[in-house]
Chains A and B, each alone.
Chain A
Amino acid sequence: MGIQFRTETFRDDFTFRNSPEHIRRFPFPFHEDSYMYAVNIEPHVPGPKGSVLENLIDVDEHYVSEMADRALVLAEDPLRCQSLPHMTLAGWDLLELLMTEQAKGYPEHFTLTRDGDNWHWINRPLGIDQKFVFGDLSTLPYGPMEYITRQSQGDFCILDQRDGNLWMDAGIVTTQADWSLDFDIGMNFFEWHAPVPLAHEKGVFTRALKFLLNIQQGQPARRLNWTMTINPRLDTSPENFHKWGPDRTTVTPENVGQKVHLRVELQSFWRLPRSNAMVFPIRCYLIKMDELATSKKWARRLHRVLRDLPEELATYKGLTRYRPTVVEWLAKHDDGAPTSSGFGPD
């Protein structure tokens, strides 16, 4: 029967919400009651049926509405999608990866037929039926990266690998936690991570880079990252700070449950075959506090994590202003019982 795609918004009236099944599959990021940066990288292998890891490229009930939101962002600000000239081949690699994975995981929604370089792509949820020649730019309405990422959930950075480093030389970034592709384009792994506190000193980035440089084709890896967002807004970009920054002052004890969202990024790392570049999909999942609190374990644990979060991290993630209100709200859901280890709900 396939996925029931929701019609909803991530701006203005903010009608986004998760169905009960989607609440249960939410990738809760805390395996213990505290949080600190670590080299939390693991092989990206398929996970349990019904989880966000069932397919390595996940498509969910928010797909159609997220794609509509991306189109709005791009129409206002074309610089959210950039590709330096040497990255076109990597764009074709990405197109192949996303079409293949989506067609494999969701045959009822996507179909890819290949006859040599003559490809036929059908995307039923978005009503797209496209015949094109793989490698021939003139046969698609956009460049290959933009074409396929307008049809794929999550942001994508494509990193060129050279001189023992990764360089952010292409990407499409419209659902980001307060960072800018236009600012980071052309930077290397250490340069774009410069604003992150504590992790450099702990050696997280030197170790992580060594791992990433060694990632081989067919062996993707993943990690989770998280922050919080007020209102279910996907586009929390520095460019639009004036639109969403003030939301942070609107949190009250009465509206925490509906307004405050835990924002989890499932980040994965893939070697691309033709270009030898690396693609970094950043898939964003949002959950309201009311939704999260339907799992006793999650609410209890998030309370403890947020309460004890080191100040530097809270500042960097932009939580300072409303953290006390949220901690107070979550405290009511924390009976002090021990939480079992691991990510899943009770």
Chain B
Amino acid sequence: MSAGTTKLDVTVADVVPVNELVTRFHFRPTNGGHLPTFSGGAHVVVEMREHEGATPRLNPYSLMSSPLNTAEYTISVRRDDVGRGGSLFMHRQVKPGDRMVISYPVNLFSLDLRAKKHLMIAGGIGITPFMAQTAQLASSSGNFELHYACRTASLFTYGDVLAERYGKRIHLYHDDRGEKIELARLLASQPLGTHLYICGPAPMIDWVRNTAAASGWPSETVHYEHFSAPKPGLPFDVTLAVSDKKIRVGEQQSLLEAIEAAGVDPPYLCRGGVCGQCETNVISSDGKFLHNDHWLSEEEHRSGKKIMPCVSRFEGRSLVLER
């Protein structure tokens, strides 16, 4: 097993249209039992395959179900007619009973449990991580307040559900009615020890972060969700000069995994770009290195003479390694 490859086999238990753009998917473990526990704000990476054997497309989605319920996970997917097509696949192809593969939960947007109060700002489909976080906080009598803006009432995904669950703690703003979050006032009126969480379109995240910074909020109290795309990238070809082999690194594979798959046994330890074991000399290259390690110096990255195959990739015409 290498880092980044722990997967869960799930079966689609239900597909529920929420409104004209958003559909909810329920996943249960294919082999029965429970899914791993997660914390509010976590996401999973969903693998979408057009057909068996096809290279999967990978999209991250926030888990929106309660962390207290590990019998199933739910995600909500907003149809994006111009995006890479992952959401279209989910909307058009995924049916109850389908088997799918998802990653273990990963949390890059976790609650700071020291906070005296959690102030949440959501825009559009950015509501999903807050669904899980509010459930988690409500179960442990945490203090939270959610401000949620959406274009129209008909697109107010889970606005009604949240209002019903949490009453006055939920504030809804309809863009088409000219309602606007009075951010400066809201931020100025928070008790000491409040943490701020933002999830929504990029301009909204910028607006809230800038306003918070201008009103003197320390940056460690401001949290925002930004998906770091899963590490895999485009396939590329490599020549292993010492072992005299030509290999192709798949979209989902690391260069190290591809070298191993070709029967070559390079040294490694961490498989995470920090230990230095897998350092490999580049004999020649024509293209761009995508260095993702923390081992080589910036100078070495620029030199194009070395690569750490456990995490780094390449885009271009040719790459020849001393391996």
| A interface residues with partner B (beta carbon < 8 Å) | 38-43, 45, 84-87, 89, 93, 96, 160-163, 206-208, 210-211, 214, 216-219, 221, 273-276
Contact = CB atoms under 8 A, between A and B. Distances in A.
B269 A41 contact: yes
A218 to B, nearest CB: 4
B118 to A, nearest CB: 12
Given A38-B276, A210-B274, 17 more contacts: A38-B275, A40-B269, A40-B275, A42-B271, A43-B2, A87-B113, A89-B113, A89-B140, A93-B37, A160-B114, A210-B273, A211-B272, A216-B6, A221-B270, A273-B36, A273-B39, A276-B110
Interface in B22-80: 36-39, 41-42, 67
A42 B269 contact: yes
B6 A274 contact: no
B295 interface: yes
A41 B270 contact: yes
Nearest to A114: B34
Contacts of B237: none
6 contacts: A84-B114, A207-B295, A210-B274, A217-B36, A217-B104, A276-B42
B275 A274 contact: no
Contact of B105 (A160, A273, A275): A273
Interface in B97-127: 104-107, 110-114
Contacts of A217: 6, 36, 38, 104-106
Contacts of A275: 39, 113
B180 interface: no
A152 B114 CA distance: 27
Contacts, number: 94
A39 B105 contact: no
B4 A219 contact: yes
B107 A276 contact: yes
A234 to B, nearest CB: 29
Given A42-B269, A45-B1, A217-B106, A208 B114 contact: no
B176 interface: no
B81 interface: no
Interface residues of B, number: 34
B294 interface: yes
Contacts of B140: 89
Contacts of A39: 269-270, 274-276
A211 B294 contact: yes
B299 interface: no
Interface in B1-23: 1-4, 6
Across the A-B interface, give the 6 residue pairs with the lowest CB-CB distance, nearest first. A273-B37, A276-B110, A86-B113, A218-B104, A218-B6, A207-B274
A96 B37 contact: yes
B270 A216 contact: no
Contacts of B114: 84-86, 160
> Which secondary structure characterizes the binding site on chain B?
loop
Contacts of B42: 276
Contacts of A218: 6, 36, 104
A274 B67 contact: yes
A38 B279 CA distance: 14
Contact of A276 (B4, B39, B220, B271): B39
A211 B220 contact: no
B275 A219 contact: no
| Most chain B CB atoms below 10 A, which of A206, A214, A276 | A276
A211 B274 contact: yes
Contact of B272 (A96, A206, A214): A214
Nearest to B275: A39
B274 A43 contact: no
A319 B6 CA distance: 42
Contacts of B36: 217-218, 273
A132 to B, nearest CB: 17
A41 B274 contact: yes
Nearest to A207: B274
Nearest to B110: A276
Contact of B104 (A211, A214, A219): A219
A39 B4 CA distance: 19
Contacts of A96: 37
Contacts of B105: 217, 273
A211 B39 CA distance: 20
Contacts of B111: 276
Contacts of B6: 216-219
A216 to B, nearest CB: 5
Given A217-B36, A218-B104, A273-B39, A42 B270 contact: yes
A40 B270 CA distance: 8
Contacts of B269: 39-42
Contacts of B112: 86, 162
Contacts of B2: 43
A210 B273 CA distance: 9
Contacts of A274: 37-39, 67, 136
Contacts of B41: 276
Contacts of B104: 216-219
Contacts of B37: 93, 96, 273-274
B294 A210 contact: yes
Contacts of B272: 41, 211, 214, 221
Nearest to B70: A273
Given A38-B275, A43-B2, A45-B1, A162 B295 contact: no
Interface string B133-161: 00010001000000000000000000000
A206 B295 CA distance: 10
Contact of A207 (B39, B110, B294): B294
Contacts of A93: 37
A214 B106 CA distance: 9
Contacts of A161: 110
B294 A41 contact: no
Given A45-B1, A86-B114, A217-B105, A208 B39 contact: no
